[in-house]
Structure 1
Amino acid sequence: MHDVRALIDMGDEAVRRLARRGYALDLSSLESLQSRRNQSIRTADDLRAESKRVAQEVQQKARAGEDISELKENARKLKEQIRELEAEQEQVQAELRDVLLSIPNLPLDDAPDGDSEDFAVEVRRVGNPPAFSFDPKDHVDLGEAMGILDFRRATKLSGPRFSVVRGVGAALERALATLFLDLHTRRHGYVEHSVPFLVSRKTMTGTGQLPKFEEDLFATGVADRELFLIPTAEVPLTNLYADEIIPRAELPLALTAHTPCFRSEAGSYGRDTRGILRQHQFSKVEMVRICAAEESQAELEKMTSHAEACLKELDLAYRVVTLAAGDMGFSAQLTYDIEVWLPSQHTYREISSVSDCGTFQARRAGIRTRDAQGKSTPVATLNGSGLPIGRTLAALLEQHQQQDGSVVLPEALVPYLGFRCIAADGTPEA
C-alpha cells in the first residue's frame, strides 16, 4: 500500500507514472480524503483537550461545593461530539485505505511503455530452438499418445482446465520439482519451506491479491473463518514476515517452496484452453527474496538468473523480456518474463515472471527493517517462478520430442528418474 503523503508530494510525477500502467490517479480526491482525515484528527484532539479541562473543572467545583450541573452537561456534549468525530475519522480512514489499496505499484522508468505483451522488450535469447525434420506435435498429442496425460478423465472429475498426469509423467513432475528445489537450496542459497495452502484475507491483501483480484481466487472457509486457496506460494512465503521487523544483518532472505496453485482465471476464458498451459490447479516452485529497499534491483537480476538456471539445466531454449509498464502485475515495479520456446506454437511463451515489488508489498504487510540510524523502514520484496511444473513439462515434451513419438530427457533429470527416455508408449527407457 502506498504512503498517501508520498503520493501527494510526488504530485504530477505519480500521476504520470501510474498513467503508464493505465491507472488514472485522482490527486484532488486523495488530497481531500487526507485533509478530511487530518482535520478530524485535529478537531478530535482539541475536543479531548477541552473535555479533559472541563473534567478537571468539574472536580474542582465539586470539591468547593459549587453547582456543576451545567459543566456536567457540557462534558456530556463534548464526549458525544468526540464519539461522532471518532466515527467520522474511522469512516474517512477506511475510505482512504480502500483507495490506497486499489492503487497499483508505481512502475520504474526501466519498464517500457505499453499495455500488452506486444510492447515487451527482449533482453536476451539463450539456446537455439530445435530444428525438426518432421512436423512436431504439441504436448497434448504427445502426452495422450504416451498415456501420461489424461484430460478426459480430469474433466470427468472436475470439469475443464484440469489434468491428470500418470505413470512416468507423474514421476517426471516429481523429478522436476525436486530438481528445482535442489538447485535453489543447494546452489542458490534459498531456504525451503512447507507452507499452508489456505490463507486469510489479510494475508492475501498483504501481497496485493486482494481486494482487486478477488474474482480470480478460490474462496472457502472453516466454520466462521474465511480462507482462500493460494494462487502462488509468493503469498504465504512473503507474509511469513508480516508485521515484523527483520534485523538488517539477516537480509537478504531467500525463501522457496513447492506448492499447488489455484486460480480461477476469470479474465482469461478462451485463452490456452488446450493442454496444461493455463489451468485452475497447477504446481510450482516459487522463489521469494526480501532485502533492503536500495538493493532490490540487484536482487531482481540475481533472482532472474536463478530461474534461468532451471531452464539451462533442462536444455530448453528461452528468452528474457522486460514487461511493459501496463502489462505488469499489480504489485510489481519492474518485471522480467522468461519465455520458453514451444515448437507447436512456433513462439516463445511465458514460463516465469520475476518481479521487483520494491516496498509496495512490505508497506501493505508491515514488513520492516532498521536503517543505520535505527529508524524502522519498509523492506523490498521480490518473487519469481522457479519454475511451474506443468509448463516446464509441456516444454520438455515439445522441445525434446523425437520423430517416433518418444522424448529424450536432459541428463540433469536422470539422477531423479533413473531413465533418460520416455518411449512412444509411455514406458521408461535407459
Structure 2
Amino acid sequence: MLQLQVIRDAKEEIKAALQKRNIDADAMLNGILLLDEKRRATQTQLDSTLAESNILSKEIGMLYKSGKAQEANELKEKTAALKEESKQLGEELNATAEELQRLLYQIPNIPHTSVPDGSTEDDNEEVFKEGDVPELIADALPHWELAKKYDIIDFELGVKIAGAGFPVYKGKGARLQRALISYFLDKNTQAGYTEIQVPHLVNEASGYGTGQLPDKEGQMYHVTADDLYLIPTAEVPVTNIFRDVILQEKDFPIQYTGYTPCFRREAGSYGAHVRGLNRLHQFDKVEIVRVEHPSKSYEALDGMVEHVKEILRELKLPYRILRLCGGDLGFTAALTFDFEVFSTAQDRWLEISSVSNFETYQANRLKLRFKDENGKSQLAHTLNGSSLALPRVLAGILENYQTSDGIKIPEVLVPYCGFDFID
C-alpha cells in the first residue's frame, strides 16, 4: 500500500509512474486526497468538540461545589449536545477512514524505474538466457503422456478424488517430487535461509497484509465457516510473521525458506496450455522470503536471482529470465524477474519462478517497521521468490531428460531420489 504522505507530496510523480501499468490513476489519487482532507477536517472538529466538552465538564463540577446547581444544570444541557455531536463526528470519521483505506488498497505499487513499458507478457524483456536445448528422440512425448506411460502421475485419479488440477503422484513420481522439495530446501538453507514451517491457512488480515486481498480474492479458496483462506503461496504466512513488528537495524537481513502446498482457483484457465502440470489448483512450492533494509533490498534481489540461477544450472535445464513489463507486473511488486524453463516436448517456455521486490508496499500494509541508528521508525522492504515451484520444473525434467528407454534423473537429484532412471 502506498503511503498517504507520499501521495500528498508526490501525486503527479505517482500518477506518471502508474502509467507504466497502463493505469490512469488521476481520479483515484484525487479521491484519496479529498477523503484525506475530509478526514483531517473531521478529526480537527472532533478534537475541538471533545476539548470544549471537557472544559465544560470541569466548570460543571466547580459550579456544583459552589452551590450553583441551576447554572451547572444549564451547562449540562450544552455538554449533552456536545456529546451527541462528538458521537456523530466519530462515526463520520470512522466511515471516512474506512473509505480512505478502501481506496488506498486499490492503488498498485509504483513500478521501479527499470520496469519496461508494455501491456502484456509479450512485452516482457528477456535479460538472460542459459543452457542448451536438448535434441529429443523423434517420438518425444509431452510430460502428461510420459506420466501416463510410466505410471508416475495420475491426472484422472485426481479428477475422481477432487477435480481437475489435483494430480496424484505415484511411485517414482512421488519420490521425485519429494526429492525436489528436499533439494530446494537444502540449497536454500546452504545459502543462509532459515527453514520454517507455517500454517497452510491464513486469516483475512494476513491476506490484506501481503496484498492477496482484495486484489486476488476470487483466486483464493475461502473456508467460509471459519473465514480462513487456503494459501496461494508460502509468501503469505511467512511474510505475515512480521505483521505489526518493529525490528532493529541489526536484525537485517532476515531470510526464510519454507515448503508448502499452494492452492489457487485459477478461475477461467482452460485450453491446451494448461494441460498436465502446466497449471494446477494444488501444487507444491519452496519459497524464499527476505526482509531487508531499504538501502540493501535491490542488492538482495540480485542475490536471489543468482541463487535461482545456480539451482537451474545444477538441474541442467535450459532457462531464461524476463524482466516483467508494467502491464504484466504483479499488483504489489515494484520489480519482478520471471524464470522460465524451456519445455522441448511442448516447444514452449514454462514459468517456474518469480523473484520480486515489493519495496515498502507490503511493509506499509503489514506495519512492518525498523528503528534506524537515530531511533527513527522506518518501513522495511520485503522480497520473495519461488525457489522453486515444482510442477513445471518436474514437467521440464520429464520432457527434457526423456530417452527412448525412459527418463534420466538429473545427477544432482540422484542422492535425494535413490534412483537414476524412470522406466
The TM-score, its normalising length taken from structure 2, stands at 0.97
The aligned residue for residue 359 of structure 2 is: 358
The answer to whether the Cα contact below 8 Å between 1:368 and 1:379 also exists between their aligned partners in 2 is yes
The answer to whether the Cα contact below 8 Å between 1:134 and 1:403 also exists between their aligned partners in 2 is no
Counterpart of 1:96, as a letter, is: L
In 2: Cα distance, 1:272 partner to 1:162 partner: 16
The superposition leaves residues 172-226 of structure 1 with CA deviations (integer Å, 9 ceiling, x where unpaired) of 000000000000002x11000111001100011100000121110001156xx31
RMSD (CA atoms): 1.2
Counterpart of 1:335, as a letter, is: T
In 2: Cα distance, 1:268 partner to 1:210 partner: 20
Give how far 1:133 is off: 4.6
In 2: Cα distance, 1:10 partner to 1:18 partner: 12
The aligned residue for residue 279 of structure 2 is: 278
**SS, match of residue 109 in structure 2:** coil
The answer to whether the Cα contact below 8 Å between 2:136 and 2:344 also exists between their aligned partners in 1 is no
In 1: Cα distance, 2:81 partner to 2:161 partner: 65
Quick one: structure 1 residues 382 and 267, their matched pair in 2 at CA, closer, same or farther if it must change by over 3 Å? farther
The runs of at least 4 aligned residues of structure 1 exceeding 2 Å deviation read: 267-273
Unaligned runs of 5+ in 2: none
Which stretch shows the higher mean deviation, 192-201 or 12-21?
12-21
Question: 1:6-405 maps to which residues of 2 (within 5 A)?
Answer: 6-25=6-25, 26=27, 27-66=29-68, 67=70, 68-186=72-190, 188-221=191-224, 225-270=226-271, 272-404=273-405
Identical aligned pairs, as a percentage?
Answer: 41
Give how far 1:390 is off: 1.4
In 1: Cα distance, 2:58 partner to 2:152 partner: 82
Counterpart of 1:295, as a letter, is: K
The answer to whether the Cα contact below 8 Å between 1:8 and 1:30 also exists between their aligned partners in 2 is no
The answer to whether the Cα contact below 8 Å between 1:155 and 1:163 also exists between their aligned partners in 2 is yes
Give how far 1:267 is off: 4.3
The superposition leaves residues 344-403 of structure 1 with CA deviations (integer Å, 9 ceiling, x where unpaired) of 232222110000000110110111111121111111000100011111110000111113
Counterpart of 2:96, as a letter, is: V
The TM-score, its normalising length taken from structure 1, stands at 0.95
The superposition leaves residues 308-367 of structure 1 with CA deviations (integer Å, 9 ceiling, x where unpaired) of 222111110100110001211111000000010011232222110000000110110111
Counterpart of 1:328, as a letter, is: L
In 1: Cα distance, 2:173 partner to 2:227 partner: 35
Count of equivalent residues? 419
**SS, match of residue 37 in structure 1:** helix
Counterpart of 2:59, as a letter, is: E
Unaligned runs of 5+ in 1: 424-430
In 1: Cα distance, 2:2 partner to 2:284 partner: 31
Counterpart of 1:342, as a letter, is: S
In 2: Cα distance, 1:358 partner to 1:19 partner: 19
In 2: Cα distance, 1:267 partner to 1:307 partner: 30
The aligned residue for residue 427 of structure 1 is: none
In 2: Cα distance, 1:344 partner to 1:161 partner: 21
